[in-house]
Chain A
């Protein structure tokens, strides 16, 4: 009984003997795999959201703003049909940098590029043409609404800056006026969009949350992310040779970096 029981044991031990060598190899491999995964995760998290997206309607001035921020020079630009990205050094002394991504504003392209880059967004600069704003109020508000109700944007709540561009022109509207008009328009839009017939699979088209607080008029302070308004001019009032007036924008970028 006991002897028989004791005998299989050393045999079992002997079978497991080559074990330690094999076992140590397995443990080593496992450790390597775990560290590799951890490293990837950490790096992914760190680099996942380092992008600042430049969004806006066509002709708002996104590409010129992009060029000015990166090189300080003026370039003639064409309507973008694809994204451009580059690393932007926030200020000379700080080592922080962000990736600026300039996305096309054309109607047929804007949504698919937003789809591609929204997950990587740490902040969004929404560029508005202050001169044509009165005419384009509805389109501006519609695009802004589409960005704000997007589920990924709501989840990440990237900081939002609304850059009222083209302030060098005398007819440009002020940032305050633009803010008021956008709030009014978004107020109407959230009612009409949520009143649309429900989607085919049952989920509401207007997004899971009603934008802002119900019962009260829409206000940018009701949004989950920080919203700021800034006036800027990519072209600059001294003509093409002069500098752009981007102090507000650069300060904000330094803040969020």
Chain B
């Protein structure tokens, strides 16, 4: 709901819950007995109650006065001796290693990072129990945290060797002094003129063949496999998942009784009943290539929706949860507003202007191939297409499109369409500005009476800021009717990152009040995944825009539209 983001009122959630409960309790009888007609005919004098609840909520949020800062005497620091506050050199690199390690590991480490930062601040006052008179609650927490992370130390020790020489090198760096007055080039020239360009630049004494070669026992010329170290991550997982295991065991026993109870009478669902099932469903979804964060959020929302729901007889918790998850997935995949490309092209035709479609995406997802497929489909429906080759970077991009144009014209010769060439290529070679080419192509299409303009852009990584800016400029300047993001079905967690960053770039670099964002998704390489169709879910969940086309092969006929029920069935299949 929108208001939560506009006003940061902390009591809103609680207020809604209170109002809900109070209203329900007050008029409980009317609801139960009279039903809908009672609702319509009854008068609900709730204004006073609502105002009272609102006042209570506002007051409760004001009650917490700003905490007064402790005076120095009250703080713990004054009670410690000076000795224990001295930091010993040896501990610092270990802290750095811990932080680095924790930042490196993925989702399981997010909690660890938060805890690690707390521990590192705690470490600045290393616990020497003998020096203090009393152990306050914070000290106890610190000690527990240290014990908890001693287990991490075992993993940290492995790579503690390398950061050590790094730390020493850092100490050797002296701050560079820039004199304002002395802007003499000679003084600022730190390059070693004697060694620039000469062959003996590298001092020979420092070259240690053993260090450079590494493993002496390797066979010369052999390419070894990539060694995968999974021990560190496995340990972290064990440490963090340990607290959750006993609860799972308890859930198992309770689940059995719950199932029996559920079979007989009507039972309302609680969080504990649903948790083990949701865990399993989440793992199942992740195994089917849904992005991890999306799977977590999905399960959370299903849990929230089902909490407190009364189950009917002969329905188990598993079936209810599965049903709810299936409905949620179908709803995600079915777009709110169906994108009918042909209808919009007809509208543009009536207004005598070309319908412009832009394809964007990362490298190698199949933009040019699917562009050709879509132009084939459009030609079959009787629309003439102009392909704008705005990929001026990749070698062979223009030639690829030219080959496609030739093939499409061979398949649909002008004779069978009333003498009009159905496909034409607009290109200006390599190295030119893509936005400029797109603009020229659109005006050319308008003059020549083409129905659709398909703009092919170069693939770019979502992290590449200058390229993203160039793409945003192309889209902002040319104002296409449809911006399609091409993503491959093989992508996993990356899908979330790609889409978020593409949308963000488009929004940031556009001057307009309402920036043009991604309007639809083309899911390619669908034939390479059999039933691991999770990428579809991730992409539609992030953008809430529909999947317009699905590419299932390399020939022109391999263009499909998405069938939400079939995809969800494949996703839920065990």
B35 to chain A: which residues have CB within 8 Å?
86
State whether A196 and B561 are in contact (beta carbons under 8 Å apart), knowing that A86-B36, A189-B343 are contacts in the complex.
yes
B74 to chain A: which residues have CB within 8 Å?
none
A170 at the interface (CB under 8 A from B): no
B41 to chain A: which residues have CB within 8 Å?
71, 73
Q: A174-218 toward B: CB 8 Å interface, digit per residue (1/0)?
A: 000000000000001101110111111101010000000000000
A197 to chain B: which residues have CB within 8 Å?
377, 549-550, 559-561
Q: B357-387 toward A: CB 8 Å interface, digit per residue (1/0)?
A: 0000000000000000000010001000000
A191 to chain B: which residues have CB within 8 Å?
342
A223 at the interface (CB under 8 A from B): no
CB nearest neighbor in A for B328: A112
B336, A195: Cβ atoms closer than 8 Å: no
- Shortest CB-to-CB span from B323 to chain A, Å, is 12
Q: How extensive is the interface on chain B, given as a class?
A: 20 to 34
Please, how many angstroms separate the alpha-carbon atoms of A197 and B377 in the complex?
8
CB nearest neighbor in A for B36: A86
B562 to chain A: which residues have CB within 8 Å?
199-200
Q: B531-574 toward A: CB 8 Å interface, digit per residue (1/0)?
A: 00000000000000000011010000001111100110000000
A112, B331: Cβ atoms closer than 8 Å: yes
Contact of B563 among A84, A112, A201 (CB under 8 A): A201
A59 at the interface (CB under 8 A from B): no
CB nearest neighbor in A for B335: A107
B340 at the interface (CB under 8 A from A): yes
State whether A199 and B561 are in contact (beta carbons under 8 Å apart), knowing that A67-B40, A86-B35 are contacts in the complex.
yes
B334 at the interface (CB under 8 A from A): yes
Q: How extensive is the interface on chain A, given as a class?
A: 20 to 34
A71, B40: Cβ atoms closer than 8 Å: yes
B327 at the interface (CB under 8 A from A): yes
- Shortest CB-to-CB span from B351 to chain A, Å, is 14
Please, how many angstroms separate the alpha-carbon atoms of A67 and B559 in the complex?
47
CB nearest neighbor in B for A84: B36
CB nearest neighbor in B for A111: B334
Task: List, sorted by A's number, 29 A–B pairs whose CB atoms are closer than 8 Å.
Answer: A70-B37, A70-B40, A73-B40, A84-B36, A86-B36, A86-B40, A107-B336, A107-B337, A111-B334, A112-B330, A138-B343, A142-B338, A188-B343, A189-B340, A192-B343, A196-B340, A196-B342, A197-B377, A197-B560, A197-B561, A198-B560, A198-B561, A199-B566, A200-B550, A200-B560, A200-B563, A200-B567, A201-B563, A201-B566
Which B residues contact A (CB, under 8 angstroms)?
Answer: 35-37, 39-41, 327, 330-331, 334, 336-338, 340, 342-343, 346, 377, 381, 526, 549-550, 552, 559-563, 566-567
The 7 A-B pairs at the shortest CB distance, nearest first, are namely A192-B342, A86-B36, A199-B563, A107-B336, A200-B563, A201-B566, A192-B343
Which A residues contact B (CB, under 8 angstroms)?
Answer: 67, 70-71, 73, 75, 84-86, 107-108, 111-112, 138, 142, 146, 188-189, 191-193, 195-201, 203, 205
